[in-house]
Amino acid sequence: MNLDNAVWMLTALAAVVVLLTRMRLSNESGQSGHAVVPMSVVNAHTVIGVVALATWIVYLTSPGDLIGAVALVAWWVEVAIGLLVLARWMSRPSKHAAATTGDTWAQGPSLSILGHVGMLLGISFFTWVVLADKLSG
Protein backbone atom coordinates (compact mmCIF):
# COMPACT_ATOMS: atom_id res chain seq x y z
CA MET A 1 0.00 0.00 0.00
CA ASN A 2 1.43 3.37 -0.92
CA LEU A 3 1.31 6.44 1.29
CA ASP A 4 -1.45 8.16 -0.70
CA ASN A 5 -3.79 5.20 -0.15
CA ALA A 6 -3.07 5.21 3.57
CA VAL A 7 -3.85 8.94 3.75
CA TRP A 8 -7.17 8.43 1.93
CA MET A 9 -8.06 5.53 4.24
CA LEU A 10 -7.31 7.64 7.33
CA THR A 11 -9.36 10.47 5.83
CA ALA A 12 -12.35 8.13 5.57
CA LEU A 13 -11.84 7.03 9.19
CA ALA A 14 -11.67 10.67 10.30
CA ALA A 15 -15.00 11.30 8.54
CA VAL A 16 -16.52 8.35 10.40
CA VAL A 17 -15.29 9.69 13.77
CA VAL A 18 -16.77 13.13 13.06
CA LEU A 19 -20.09 11.58 12.01
CA LEU A 20 -20.31 9.13 14.92
CA THR A 21 -19.43 11.82 17.46
CA ARG A 22 -22.23 13.97 16.07
CA MET A 23 -24.69 11.07 16.21
CA ARG A 24 -23.66 10.09 19.73
CA LEU A 25 -23.84 13.58 21.21
CA SER A 26 -26.70 15.12 19.24
CA ASN A 27 -29.33 13.96 21.73
CA GLU A 28 -28.70 15.77 25.02
CA SER A 29 -31.22 13.59 26.86
CA GLY A 30 -29.28 10.46 25.88
CA GLN A 31 -25.92 11.69 27.15
CA SER A 32 -24.45 10.59 30.44
CA GLY A 33 -25.72 12.90 33.19
CA HIS A 34 -22.66 14.80 34.42
CA ALA A 35 -21.11 14.99 30.98
CA VAL A 36 -23.88 16.59 28.97
CA VAL A 37 -22.18 18.47 26.17
CA PRO A 38 -24.01 21.64 25.09
CA MET A 39 -25.40 21.54 21.57
CA SER A 40 -23.35 24.62 20.68
CA VAL A 41 -20.17 22.62 21.34
CA VAL A 42 -21.51 19.61 19.42
CA ASN A 43 -22.43 21.88 16.51
CA ALA A 44 -19.01 23.57 16.55
CA HIS A 45 -17.33 20.16 16.61
CA THR A 46 -19.39 19.01 13.63
CA VAL A 47 -19.00 22.18 11.56
CA ILE A 48 -15.25 22.39 12.12
CA GLY A 49 -14.97 18.67 11.36
CA VAL A 50 -16.82 19.07 8.06
CA VAL A 51 -14.72 22.13 7.15
CA ALA A 52 -11.53 20.24 8.03
CA LEU A 53 -12.62 17.22 6.02
CA ALA A 54 -13.63 19.27 2.96
CA THR A 55 -10.45 21.35 3.05
CA TRP A 56 -8.35 18.23 3.49
CA ILE A 57 -9.99 16.53 0.50
CA VAL A 58 -9.29 19.63 -1.61
CA TYR A 59 -5.67 19.43 -0.45
CA LEU A 60 -5.45 15.72 -1.31
CA THR A 61 -6.83 16.25 -4.81
CA SER A 62 -4.62 19.26 -5.60
CA PRO A 63 -1.84 19.68 -3.02
CA GLY A 64 -0.79 23.22 -2.21
CA ASP A 65 1.03 24.69 0.76
CA LEU A 66 -1.70 27.18 1.73
CA ILE A 67 -4.62 24.75 1.48
CA GLY A 68 -2.61 22.14 3.38
CA ALA A 69 -1.91 24.62 6.18
CA VAL A 70 -5.57 25.65 6.37
CA ALA A 71 -6.64 22.00 6.49
CA LEU A 72 -4.17 21.24 9.27
CA VAL A 73 -5.32 24.19 11.36
CA ALA A 74 -8.93 23.04 10.98
CA TRP A 75 -7.99 19.44 11.87
CA TRP A 76 -6.06 20.52 14.98
CA VAL A 77 -8.96 22.70 16.16
CA GLU A 78 -11.26 19.70 15.59
CA VAL A 79 -8.98 17.40 17.57
CA ALA A 80 -8.69 19.91 20.42
CA ILE A 81 -12.47 20.26 20.69
CA GLY A 82 -12.87 16.48 20.55
CA LEU A 83 -10.30 15.85 23.27
CA LEU A 84 -11.86 18.53 25.48
CA VAL A 85 -15.29 16.93 25.02
CA LEU A 86 -13.77 13.55 25.86
CA ALA A 87 -12.03 14.98 28.94
CA ARG A 88 -15.30 16.49 30.12
CA TRP A 89 -17.09 13.19 29.63
CA MET A 90 -14.43 11.28 31.57
CA SER A 91 -14.20 13.81 34.41
CA ARG A 92 -15.56 12.90 37.77
CA PRO A 93 -19.09 14.12 38.39
CA SER A 94 -19.80 16.60 41.12
CA LYS A 95 -22.18 15.66 43.91
CA HIS A 96 -24.81 17.88 42.26
CA ALA A 97 -24.63 16.14 38.87
CA ALA A 98 -27.64 14.50 37.36
CA ALA A 99 -27.74 10.74 37.37
CA THR A 100 -26.08 9.13 34.39
CA THR A 101 -28.20 7.52 31.74
CA GLY A 102 -27.55 4.29 29.90
CA ASP A 103 -25.04 4.36 27.06
CA THR A 104 -26.36 2.28 24.19
CA TRP A 105 -23.13 2.54 22.18
CA ALA A 106 -20.63 1.02 24.57
CA GLN A 107 -20.00 0.47 28.23
CA GLY A 108 -17.88 3.39 29.38
CA PRO A 109 -15.69 5.72 27.37
CA SER A 110 -13.67 3.11 25.45
CA LEU A 111 -15.25 3.84 22.05
CA SER A 112 -14.77 7.59 22.46
CA ILE A 113 -11.19 7.14 23.64
CA LEU A 114 -10.44 4.96 20.61
CA GLY A 115 -11.98 7.50 18.22
CA HIS A 116 -10.43 10.64 19.67
CA VAL A 117 -6.97 9.28 20.40
CA GLY A 118 -7.08 7.74 16.93
CA MET A 119 -7.90 11.17 15.53
CA LEU A 120 -4.98 12.69 17.44
CA LEU A 121 -2.61 10.11 15.95
CA GLY A 122 -4.16 10.42 12.49
CA ILE A 123 -3.92 14.21 12.44
CA SER A 124 -0.34 13.95 13.67
CA PHE A 125 0.31 11.72 10.66
CA PHE A 126 -1.49 14.21 8.36
CA THR A 127 0.74 16.95 9.76
CA TRP A 128 3.84 14.94 8.89
CA VAL A 129 2.48 14.28 5.38
CA VAL A 130 1.96 18.01 4.77
CA LEU A 131 5.16 19.26 6.38
CA ALA A 132 7.33 16.62 4.72
CA ASP A 133 5.48 17.06 1.37
CA LYS A 134 4.92 13.31 1.03
CA LEU A 135 1.91 13.25 -1.32
CA SER A 136 2.66 12.08 -4.83
CA GLY A 137 0.05 14.45 -6.37
Q: Spell out the residues 6+ positions from residue 2 whose beta carbon is closer than 8 angstroms to its own.
A: 136
Question: pLDDT truncated to tens, each residue of the chain (137 aa)?
Answer: 689 999 999 999 999 988 888 887 776 555 554 456 788 888 999 999 999 999 999 999 998 889 999 999 999 999 999 898 888 777 765 444 454 455 555 556 677 788 889 999 999 999 999 999 888 76
Q: Which helix (H) or strand (E) holds 120?
A: helix 110-131
Contact criterion met (CB below 8 Å) for 68 and 116: no
CA distance 128 to 115: 20
